[in-house]
Every structure is written in structure tokens, then in C-alpha cells.
Structure 1
Amino acid sequence: MIDPANALLIAAIIVGLVAFIWWPEKGVWFRWQQARHMTERILQEDALKHIHKWEMKGHTCTIESIAGALHISQNETAVLLEAMQANGMIVIDQGELRLTLAGRDTAMHIIRAHRLWERHLAEETGFDETEWHARAELQEHAFTPGELDELATRLGNPTHDPHGDPIPTPGGTIEPHGGRPLTQLPLDTPATIVHLEDEPDVVYAQLVAEGLHLGMAVRVTERTPERVRFWVNGDEHMLAPMIANNISVVQTKVEAIPVQDSDGSLANVQPGETAVVTQLSPACRGAERRRFMDLGILPGTEIVAELRSPGGDPTAYRIRGAMIALRREQANLIKVKKEAA
């Protein structure tokens, strides 16, 4: 005969397991289903974004390109596209993939979310610029249209992301940056950087390492099949054409750009020397830029390098009567002109 206590214990365990697996909204089965649907939605949204990117370039998207972009097999891609077609997001006509109006609206929403979040990361956080794109890729699927409107308002309704890509309006309108590749800029022609392509990551990392940012004045001095040589804000750079092609510029009306309009950064000012601020680097953004401005570090401000720490960093500077310690990486963001001794 079964012991009643054991029977109750076994029944309690069974009930507990059933509840653990099947409990509405919190059970393992429902969480797995939710995660699966979330993954499918994200894949569909990434596919829509990829198709839109190809359409903007005037190309026809393929199953192979989508599979490569999403890192899934072509068979999985085919199943995904069938679901997207059934949902009214795309049409497939004679093997060509095209976005429907609903598909384009969804793609615009994801692109808007991505670029607004990159702007947030640049202006309101301390994340390195090489991290912005990957972090935005993860966050772009989490916003509702209302949440994006709130984010845009908080950021001042920016028209472009930190790389110069246009941010779609709530209605899906895009304002192009109007630039052309640096490799197409005529020699000795003044221009301004308006876009830095952030994909692939390894190429963007090289542009960042070169210290290139939006708004910098540029002038190409040499172009060969092997290299592009150019000046940016007084510094000479040399890149392979494949890399330089990821820099977009707009020609300016200024007849000449001085090769060097300053003596470099504040980091090059030695103790005892005095310099005058000419500008803050375009790389100085968000909280860092606001802090410098609060300290009175503006064009025309006189700064005296007073004392360098035994380890060489930081350095104490006299700024508007106050002693301020700045690390070398911070001082590099402040462009100055040394005063004659």
C-alpha cells in the first residue's frame, strides 16, 4: 500500500514541475516561446534593414546577402523571407526582393532607433566610439515609436548620428549628408568631413585611430592607386584608397585651408609655457565638452601649464585663475596656439 505522505510528496513534485514548465507568462515553456518569437522578430527586422540598405544603393537584395548579413543559413533565410512575405513586409517578384510600404516603415523605425541610440551613446555616456555601433545593434529592437520620440526630444531632435548618417524623422524622411568619398575629392580642394562609415568595424577602428571626426577640414594632396595623402586640421594622414573611400566630404567655398593653424594640443604645452585655446576637438563630445566649457575652456582662453606629475600624467594647468588637473587624453582634446616667450 502506498504511503499517503509519499503520495502527497510525489503529487506536489509533479504539480511543481508542471507549474515550473507551463505557468502562464513565467513558465519555462512560455519564456522559451517568447524568446523564440523575439529572435524571429529581430531577424525579420534585421533583414528589412539590410534590404533597405541595398535598395538605397540601387541594388537588388539576394538570399545570399541576407544570409551573410544575418549569419544564418540560406535555408533558414528562405523560411524567414516566406514569413516576411506572409506578414506583408516584402514582395518577391521574379526572384527580386522589395519592401512593401509596411516593410519600409518598419525598416525606418529600426534605423531611426539605431542612429538615435548611437547619438545617445556619443552625447550622454562614456562608451568609446568603436563600441557605439555594436551597442546600438543590440538596443535598436527595444523601442516603441513613442519612446523614440521621447529620446529624440531629449537629444534635441538631431538630424544625423555621430558618424554623419541621417536619422529618419518619425514620418520616414531622410536628410542625406550630401558628401562624396574622399577618394573623389579633387587635389588641393578644401572640404569638410561629413560622414565616417562605421562598417566594417575594423575599417572604422582605423579611422578612429587616425583621429578623424566629423567637421574636420580636409585637403587631399596626393592620390595614387596605392595611397591617398591628405591634411586634416594641420596633421598629415595617409590611407589606402579602400580605407579613404569610407570618408565622405563636402567641398567648401574657402579658397585655402592652412596646413597648420595651431601648435597642436594642450598636451604638447610644457610646464612654464602659455598657450591660447583655438578650438575643442570634434572628438570632444557630450559630458566632456560641457565640463570643459563650464571650466571656461573656450577659444581665446589663456592656459598656463604649471606642473606635471612625477609619472608624467596628469598635468596641472592654470585656467582662468584656477588650477585644473587634466589627463593627457583630455588635454589632447584642446587645440591651442602657443604664445611667444
Structure 2
Amino acid sequence: MNWMLWMALAVVGGLMVAWPRRGLWARLREARRLAERARREDALKHILKTEANGREATLESVSGALQLSPQKAAGLLAELESGGLISFEGGRMQLSPQGRELATQVVRAHRLWESYLADRTGLTEEQWHRLAERQEHLLSRQQTEALAAELGHPRVDPHGDAIPEPGSALPADRGASLNSLEPETPAVITHVEDEPQPLYARLAREGLRPGVKICVLERTPNTVRLWGQGREHLLSPVEAQSIGVEPLSDTSLRDLQGEVFLHQLAPGQTARVVELSPACRGLERRRLLDLGFVPGTRVTVDMASPLGDPRAYRVRGSLVALRQDQARWIRVEPLPAEAA
């Protein structure tokens, strides 16, 4: 009996490995095929984004962006050239019409999927890019257009990047680098680079998102000290380089420093909601609106936990608990004691 059992197990094991489509070898081949396809599309995406921002893609830039050795990057570019997706004219790397169409589709799918994750799920910002990096290679054109329709055809993604339309040119990243902003010049964040991931996660934790108004207070060779969302932020020049900004002509540093946010109120203090930060979006924004934090609504700090976070706020007769990182998205106008 033992030999029959072992034979049956061997047959089952062989089927699990060699079964067409479902077997281990078939899955490994499919995974390898998808990985190779993703590398090709990532290279095309890098070339397209580099070109859109007025720079020239090179072997070194492709190698760095895809984290490949120069030898492997050269082999990948040769593969793209033989497939008619890129060409080299005068020593410059250029996308063919077919390569440009494919690269635009990948960028469009990525930014739409990030918009979906931001608006329709409770996933954190640190997760959006990683998941979209995988999904961008899996969405067909039909699925991408269905997703765009479901989202109401958004024009920009959560990082402030334009979502290209099919057949159109990819717009350049909006705004100039924060490193180029003169001190005491108010500006609005228009773009936050989502790579590398650890750097983006750090900026997300600081609450520096597209739509947030900021102003550089001081710049040294090693630090950039800025004001935004009711507090100071200390960045390195590398972190500041990942933020795109546009100057605000109708706002002063005094205006920004005079803004008050809900988390800054003292217990017992009453204020009127002015607005939710434009950087607060998706489920986070809908939840605050559903709780009653709409412009014009009065809110009173009722009590704080022993550690100060969360705090309880009285809104429209209800008691609502918010964490400090949620309350900082709500700009308010403190009311005099007699008006409260």
C-alpha cells in the first residue's frame, strides 16, 4: 500500500508542477513574463516623464530609475529599440509613436489607480504608489477608461500630477522646486514626488500635500525651515526638491501665520469652521463632512484625553472625537467668548 500512496503523491505533485496554466512552472513563467513587461513599461514611462519635464533620458537615468545595472539597462533599451518602441537619433533616446502611446497608457492607469485608492479606500498615502505601480501594468485600456468614468474623469492625481488623456501629450510637473522659492514668499504646493517611497512617506507624515499653503522662513545649506498648516516644518534640501510650488500673489506670510486650525484651540474654546484643507481628500474628507465639519458650523473643544490626543469636540449637538492629525485639516475662526 505504501508504494501506491507514494505513487499517487508523486502523480499529484507532478500535476501541481506541470499542469498547463495552473501548474507551478506555468505560474513562474507568467510571473517572469509580467516582470519583463513591467520593466519595459517602466523604462518607457521614465523616458516619457523625463521628456515631459524638459530633460533628456539617458542610459544612466534609466539605470537609476529602474535600479538596474548599466549592462542590464543597456540590454533593456536594445530590446525596446528592436521592438520599435524607441529609437536613437543623433545619440538621443526618443519614443516611437507606439512607445509613446504605451507609456501614456501606463502613466494614465497609474495616476487613475492612485486617485481610486485615495478617494475610495482607507489605505494610507504610503500604500498608494506601491499598489499603483503593480496595477498600472495589469489594467487594460478598456478597464482604464471604465475607471476614469467611475471616478468622474479626474484631471489630477493625489500628488498633484496631471492625468494625461489618451492620445494627448503628458504635461510637465506643475510648479518650481521648493528649493527655488525665496524666503517669505507664500506659495501653494502643486506637486509632491512619490519616489523614493521613504522620502514621500516622510513628507506625507508632515502633512505636506498638494493644496497646502506654505512659506519658507529660512534656508541654510543643510535645512529648509518653512511654515504651513499652522506650524513649522524642517526639511532637508533633498526633501524640498521633491515638492513643487507656485507663488501666491494675494497672500502674505502674516496671513499664513494668522490662520488657526482646530487642533490649536484650547479646551472650552469655540470657533467657526472656515474650510477643510484642499489637501484633505477621499474618505478622510467625507468623514469630516459627515461629522458636521462644514464651513460656517460652530465647534467647541469639549475635553481632551489625559495624553491630549484624541480630543472631543461638540458639533451640532453631538460629541465627536478627533485625533490631532485629523483636526489639523480643519481651518477655523476663533469666536469671542460672548459670541460663543
Range of TM-score over shorter length:
0.7 to 0.9
Q: Go from structure 1 to structure 2 and tell me whether the alpha carbon gap of 1:94 and 1:19 turns closer, same or farther (over 3 Å shift).
A: farther
Q: What is the CA–CA distance in structure 2 between the aligned matches of 1:243 and 1:134, rounded to whole Å?
A: 19
Aligned counterpart, 1:194: 190
Moved more, 319-328 or 306-315: 306-315
Moved more, 243-252 or 88-97: 88-97
Q: Go from structure 1 to structure 2 and tell me whether the alpha carbon gap of 1:75 and 1:218 turns closer, same or farther (over 3 Å shift).
A: closer
Q: Go from structure 1 to structure 2 and tell me whether the alpha carbon gap of 1:66 and 1:234 turns closer, same or farther (over 3 Å shift).
A: same
SS state at 2:238 partner: helix
SS state at 2:252 partner: coil
CA contact (8 A) 1:235 1:259 kept: no
Post-superposition offset of 1:102: 0.7
In structure 2, which of residues 254, 277, 281 is the aligned counterpart of residue 281 of structure 1? 277
1:163 aligns with 2:159: yes
Alignment of 1:58-207 (within 5 A): 58-93=54-89, 96-176=92-172, 178-207=174-203
SS state at 2:189 partner: strand
Aligned counterpart, 1:262: 259
Post-superposition offset of 1:303: 0.9
Post-superposition offset of 1:108: 0.8
SS state at 1:303 partner: strand
Moved more, 8-17 or 291-300: 8-17
Post-superposition offset of 1:101: 0.9
1:295 aligns with 2:280: no
Q: What is the CA–CA distance in structure 2 between the aligned matches of 1:73 and 1:183, rounded to whole Å?
A: 30
Larger Rg: 1
Q: Go from structure 1 to structure 2 and tell me whether the alpha carbon gap of 1:246 and 1:267 turns closer, same or farther (over 3 Å shift).
A: same
Moved more, 251-260 or 131-140: 251-260
1:314 aligns with 2:291: no
Q: Go from structure 1 to structure 2 and tell me whether the alpha carbon gap of 1:64 and 1:296 turns closer, same or farther (over 3 Å shift).
A: same
Q: What is the CA–CA distance in structure 1 between the aligned matches of 2:321 and 2:256, rounded to whole Å?
A: 30
CA contact (8 A) 1:181 1:245 kept: yes
Q: What is the CA–CA distance in structure 1 between the aligned matches of 2:3 and 2:291, rounded to whole Å?
A: 75
Post-superposition offset of 1:221: 4.3
Q: Go from structure 1 to structure 2 and tell me whether the alpha carbon gap of 1:136 and 1:238 turns closer, same or farther (over 3 Å shift).
A: same
Moved more, 129-138 or 215-224: 215-224
SS state at 2:294 partner: coil
Question: Normalising to structure 2: TM-score of the pair?
Answer: 0.85
Amino acid at match of 2:258: D
Post-superposition offset of 1:281: 2.8
CA contact (8 A) 1:197 1:246 kept: yes
Please give the root-mean-square deviation of Cα atoms over the aligned residues, in Å. 3.0
Moved more, 309-318 or 119-128: 309-318
SS state at 2:258 partner: coil
SS state at 1:260 partner: helix
Q: Go from structure 1 to structure 2 and tell me whether the alpha carbon gap of 1:177 and 1:26 turns closer, same or farther (over 3 Å shift).
A: closer
- Name the % identity: 45
Which segments of 5 or more consecutive residues in structure 1 lack a partner in the other structure?
Answer: none
Post-superposition offset of 1:154: 1.8
Post-superposition offset of 1:183: 2.6
Q: Go from structure 1 to structure 2 and tell me whether the alpha carbon gap of 1:234 and 1:10 turns closer, same or farther (over 3 Å shift).
A: closer
Post-superposition offset of 1:111: 0.9
Q: What is the CA–CA distance in structure 2 between the aligned matches of 1:47 and 1:192, rounded to whole Å?
A: 31
Q: What is the CA–CA distance in structure 2 between the aligned matches of 1:60 and 1:176, rounded to whole Å?
A: 13
Aligned counterpart, 1:218: 214
Q: Go from structure 1 to structure 2 and tell me whether the alpha carbon gap of 1:175 and 1:312 turns closer, same or farther (over 3 Å shift).
A: same
Q: Go from structure 1 to structure 2 and tell me whether the alpha carbon gap of 1:282 and 1:130 turns closer, same or farther (over 3 Å shift).
A: farther
1:49 aligns with 2:40: no
Q: What is the CA–CA distance in structure 2 between the aligned matches of 1:231 and 1:60, rounded to whole Å?
A: 34
Post-superposition offset of 1:164: 1.1
Q: Go from structure 1 to structure 2 and tell me whether the alpha carbon gap of 1:334 and 1:17 turns closer, same or farther (over 3 Å shift).
A: closer
Per-residue CA distance 1:77-118 (angstroms, 9 max, x = gap): 333333322321122446543211111111111111111111
Q: Go from structure 1 to structure 2 and tell me whether the alpha carbon gap of 1:14 and 1:329 turns closer, same or farther (over 3 Å shift).
A: closer
SS state at 1:43 partner: helix
Amino acid at match of 2:300: V
Post-superposition offset of 1:194: 1.0
Amino acid at match of 2:330: I
1:30 aligns with 2:18: no
Q: Go from structure 1 to structure 2 and tell me whether the alpha carbon gap of 1:7 and 1:93 turns closer, same or farther (over 3 Å shift).
A: farther
Aligned length: 336
Q: What is the CA–CA distance in structure 2 between the aligned matches of 1:223 and 1:285, rounded to whole Å?
A: 30
Q: What is the CA–CA distance in structure 1 between the aligned matches of 2:178 and 2:27, rounded to whole Å?
A: 49
Q: Go from structure 1 to structure 2 and tell me whether the alpha carbon gap of 1:232 and 1:27 turns closer, same or farther (over 3 Å shift).
A: closer
